[in-house]
C-alpha cells in the first residue's frame, strides 16, 4: 500500500550514492549528536547547523499548538524546490494533484514542468468568498476521473496566495475527510504562516489532525506534508531556505536524496541557526512585522475603497485580492486583459490579473503592498483615482467604512514604513 501511495522514485531501491561514507557520517551524527552537557562524547558535526531551531520556530509561528520534530525536516533551496520535490516523491508523470483556485501562478511551473504532474483546479467562487467547499472538491475529483487522471493528492496554500486569507477549520475538516475517503495526500504550503495579522487565528492542518486524534487512529498522518520557507516570514528570499515536514519515513528518505541537487549552504544554515536561536529577536520581529503588514494593508484597502474598489476581506499575506469587475468594459477574460493592459501601460502599476491565478471570474486582481514605500503607495492611489474617476465609476458618497478609511489614512500618513523584504515571487 505504501508503494501505491508514493511514486516509483520514492520507493525505488536504485542507488543514489546515499550509502557512501560521505552521507553515512551525517546519519551517524543524527543518531548520536554531541552536546556539551547531555552527550559530551557524541559526534560533532563540522559543517551543518541542526534543524532543531527551525522546528521550534515553526511551532512558535503557529502559536505552539503543534510540535515539530527536527528529524522530520528536509531542507530545500526554497519552497519552490520543496513543492517540486514532493511532486517527484508522490506522483508519476500524468498523475494529478487538485489545487483550489485562485492559486499562485508559479505552481504551473513548480508542480508540473519537470515532474509531468497535472494540476486539476478546484474551482472556488466569490459567492462563497472563494472558500473551499465539499462540492467543489468532489467536482474536481470527478473532472480528473473524466480526464482519466489518477488523483494523488490536494495541494493547498494556507494562508492563501493570492487571497490573503487563512483556511477555516470547516474547510480543513472538509479536506481531511476528503483525503480519508479517497486515500490521497495533502500538501499544505504554509510559506505565509507568519504573516497572519488579524482574526481568525491561523490553524494549520496538523493541528486539526491532532485535535481529532486522527494521528493515532488512521494513516493520514503519513499523508500530510508541510512546505515552509523563511522567505516571507523573515524577509530572507535570497537565502533560499525552504523545507519539507512529513511523518512519512519513506518520503523523507527520498526527499533527502533529492535535496542533494539543491542544498542550502552550511554557511547559510549556520547563520540562520544563530538568528533563530535568539528567541527574543524572532518574537519581536514577527510581532512588529505583523503590525506593519496590517497597517500597510489598511492603507491599500482604504485607498482603493475611496475610489470605489473593494477588496476581499483578508487577514494574512502581503497582498490584497481586489474586485475590479465594475471597471471591465466587457465581462470576460478578454475584458480583464484589456483592463490589465491599461493599468500596466497607462496607469503604470504592475498588478496580477485573476486569470493568471486561474480565477474562474474575470475582474479580480492581486495587488502586493509590502514591497513599496508609503510614498510610492500614495502615488499609486493617486494614479488609480485619476484613472477611475473619468470612467464615472467612483461611489458618489462616502459610507461610514470609507470615512473610517480616510481617518486611518490621515493617521498613517505620519508614519513612514520601509519593510525589510520584498514579495518577489521567484524567491520562494
Residues taking part in catalysis: 104, 189, 191, 232
The CA distance from 377 to 388, in Å, is 16
> DSSP letters along 59-84, please?
HHHTTTSS---GGGEEEESSHHHHHH
CB 117 within 8 A of CB 97: yes
The CA distance from 18 to 114, in Å, is 23
How many separate helices (H) and strands (E) can be counted in the chain? Answer: 16, 11
All three cell numbers of 89, joined, read 516523491
Give the residue among 2, 12, 73 at the shortest CA–CA distance from 246: 73
Q: Which position has the grid cell 528536509?
A: 74
All three cell numbers of 299, joined, read 492603507
The CA distance from 365 to 352, in Å, is 6
> DSSP letters along 258-305, please?
HGGGSPPPHHHHHHHHHHHH-HHHHHHHHHHHHHHHHHHHHHHHHHHH
Phi/psi for 319 (5° steps) reads -155, 165
The CA distance from 224 to 401, in Å, is 41
β-strand pairing of 185-189 with 364-368: unpaired
Amino acid at each position: 500500500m505504501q508503494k501505491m501511495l508514493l511514486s516509483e522514485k520514492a520507493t525505488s531501491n536504485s542507488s543514489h550514492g546515499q550509502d557512501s561514507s560521505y552521507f553515512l557520517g551525517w546519519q551517524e551524527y543524527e543518531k548520536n549528536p554531541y552536546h556539551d552537557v547531555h552527550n559530551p562524547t557524541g559526534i560533532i558535526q563540522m559543517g551543518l547547523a541542526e534543524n532543531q531551531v527551525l522546528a521550534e520556530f515553526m511551532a512558535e509561528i503557529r502559536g505552539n499548538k503543534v510540535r515539530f520534530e527536527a528529524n522530520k525536516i528536509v531542507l530545500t533551496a526554497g519552497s519552490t524546490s520543496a513543492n517540486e520535490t514532493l511532486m517527484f516523491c508522490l506522483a508519476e508523470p500524468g498523475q494529478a494533484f487538485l489545487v483550489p483556485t485562485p492559486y499562485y501562478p508559479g505552481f504551473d511551473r513548480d508542480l508540473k514542468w519537470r515532474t509531468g504532474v497535472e494540476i486539476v483546479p478546484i474551482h472556488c467562487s466569490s459567492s462563497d468568498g472563494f472558500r473551499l467547499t465539499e462540492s467543489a472538491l468532489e467536482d474536481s475529483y470527478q473532472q480528473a476521473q473524466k480526464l482519466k487522471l489518477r488523483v494523488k493528492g490536494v495541494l493547498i496554500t494556507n494562508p492563501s496566495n493570492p487571497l490573503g486569507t487563512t483556511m477555516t477549520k470547516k474547510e480543513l475538516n472538509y479536506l481531511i475527510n476528503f483525503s480519508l475517503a479517497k486515500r490521497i495526500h495533502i500538501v499544505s504550503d504554509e510559506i505565509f504562516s507568519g504573516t497572519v495579522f488579524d482574526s481568525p487565528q491561523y490553524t494549520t492542518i496538523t493541528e486539526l489532525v491532532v485535535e481529532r486524534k486522527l494521528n493515532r487512529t488512521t494513516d493520514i498522518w503519513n499523508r500530510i506534508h508541510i512546505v515552509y520557507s523563511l522567505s516571507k516570514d523573515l524577509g530572507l528570499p535570497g537565502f533560499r531556505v525552504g523545507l519539507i515536514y512529513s511523518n512519512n519515513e519513506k518520503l523523507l528518505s527520498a526527499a533527502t536524496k533529492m535535496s542533494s541537487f539543491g542544498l542550502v549552504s552550511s554557511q547559510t544554515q549556520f547563520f540562520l541557526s544563530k538568528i533563530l536561536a535568539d528567541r527574543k529577536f524572532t518574537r519581536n520581529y514577527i510581532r512588529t512585522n505583523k503590525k506593519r503588514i496590517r497597517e500597510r494593508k489598511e492603507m491599500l484597502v482604504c485607498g482603493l475603497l475611496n475610489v470605489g474598489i473593494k477588496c476581499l476581506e483578508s487577514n494574512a499575506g502581503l497582498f490584497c485580492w481586489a474586485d475590479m469587475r465594475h471597471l471591465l468594459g466587457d465581462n470576460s477574460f478578454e475584458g480583464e486583459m484589456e483592463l490589465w493592459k491599461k493599468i500596466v501601460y497607462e496607469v503604470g502599476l504592475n498588478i496580477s490579473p485573476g486569470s493568471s491565478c486561474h480565477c474562474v471570474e474575470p475582474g479580480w486582481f492581486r495587488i502586493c503592498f509590502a514591497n513599496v514605500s508609503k510614498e510610492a503607495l500614495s502615488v499609486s492611489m493617486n494614479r488609480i483615482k485619476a484613472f477611475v474617476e473619468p470612467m464615472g465609476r467612483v461611489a458618489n458618497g462616502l459610507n461610514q467604512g470609507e470615512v473610517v478609511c480616510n481617518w486611518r489614512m490621515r493617521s498613517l500618513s505620519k508614519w513612514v514604513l520601509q519593510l525589510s523584504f520584498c514579495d518577489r515571487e521567484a524567491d520562494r
